[in-house]
Amino acid sequence: MERLVTASGYEGVLRHKGVRPELVGRLGRCGHMYHLLCLVAMYSNGNKDGSLQCPTCKAIYGEKTGTQPPGKMEFHLIPHSLPGFPDTQTIRFLMNRNAYV
């Protein structure tokens, strides 16, 4: 990765708000740095769920949501182990497609 010494190529994204293409922002959780206009372009062109994912380390900012089938998922711990895993319990997942969350 190169140092951020040149201006962003997305200068038209926020030009009307006076954001200069050489401004750099740092993501709070992971600390990776990107041009501010590049961050805005990633957010605007990404998932429309209000989240942003760092392209370097994949840290998620915001709450990532997606589409799920209708129904409700449940899980239960079964006090029996599976073959090859004598010291663990088993998790059983159930999907009830007739229920709505």
How confident is the model over 51-60, as pLDDT tens digits? 888 989 999 8
Higher pLDDT, 69 or 73: 73
Q: Decide: helix, strand or coil at residue 57.
A: coil
Task: Please tell me the distance from the alpha carbon of residue 66 to that of residue 46, in angstroms, as a whole number.
Answer: 13
pLDDT interval class at 99 (50, 70, 90): very low
CATH architecture of the domain with residue range 15-61: 2-Layer Sandwich (3.30)
Domain range annotation of the chain? 15-61, 68-101
User: The pTM is what?
Assistant: 0.54
Task: Please tell me the distance from the alpha carbon of residue 28 to that of residue 94, in angstroms, as a whole number.
Answer: 38
DSSP state string for 13-45: SSGGGT--TT-EEE-TTT--EEEHHHHHHHHHH
pLDDT interval class at 31 (50, 70, 90): very high
DSSP letter for 6, please: S
Over residues 16-37, mean pLDDT: 83
